[in-house]
Amino acid sequence: MSVARADVLAAVEVRVANVQLRRHMLACEAIMRALAERFDEDPDVWGLAGLAHDLDSEETEGDFARHGAEAAATLDAMGAPPEVVHAVAAHNPATGVAGETRLDVALTVADQLSGLVTAAALIRPDKELAGVQLKSLRKRYREGAFARGVDREAIARCSELGLELDETLALGLEAMQAIAPDLGL
């Protein structure tokens, strides 16, 4: 691959000041890597899409149609694989780039799943991921009033990847638990 993870991470650290947002991107990276392994794709490539997808969030706050497009342009200039550039643009439908590939759909799933898993940890008294069980995550998914900002339909697009919801939730939970200290959870 022509772009190094360290360079993308450095770009994230320069352009994203919000620690929670950086952690969200690390969480997405971990989930994307796990999904890639599940489908025998390249975890380094899929991980990059997760790591970089909200790179431009702070700059495009008042202009949502640019969100994703700016990050995609940066990645393209850095020499990221075209499928990563496409997925990052497509993760925001407002860019007009349609999400159609497996990588595009996976990023949409990972983006929302990371939010659900984070919320499931934060509602615990210890606020730790270690104690979150698949059973409770499943329950949280079904509770529409819990973490309302999480788009359940986006997570349900795992079916387009040929994955059951349960397997998807378990995969996301395990991937994030494995880097819990980096996520502050």
Which residues of the chain form contacts with Fe ion (CB under 5 A)? 54, 111
How far apart are CB 115 and Fe ion at their closest, in Å?
8
How many whole angstroms from its chain centre is CA 78? 20
Residue placing its CB nearer to Fe ion in the complex, 54 or 56 = 54
CA dist 105 and 161 (Å) reads: 8
CB of 131 to Fe ion, least distance (A): 24
Of 50, 28, 49, nearest to 116 by C-alpha is 28
- Rounded to whole angstroms, the Cα distance separating 119 from 93 reads 24
Contacts 24+ apart (CB under 8 A), 92-95: 92/64, 92/67, 92/68, 94/64, 94/65, 94/67, 94/68, 95/65, 95/66, 95/67, 95/68, 95/69
Q: Which is nearer to Fe ion, 53 or 140 (CB)?
A: 53
Query: Is the CB of 81 or the CB of 115 nearer to Fe ion?
Result: 115
Q: Which residue has the tokens 């999400």?
A: 99
Kindly state the smallest distance separating residue 135's Cβ from Fe ion, in Å: 26
Q: Which CB atom, from 73 or from 130, has the smaller least distance to Fe ion?
A: 73
Comparing CB distances to Fe ion, the nearer of 104 and 111 is 111
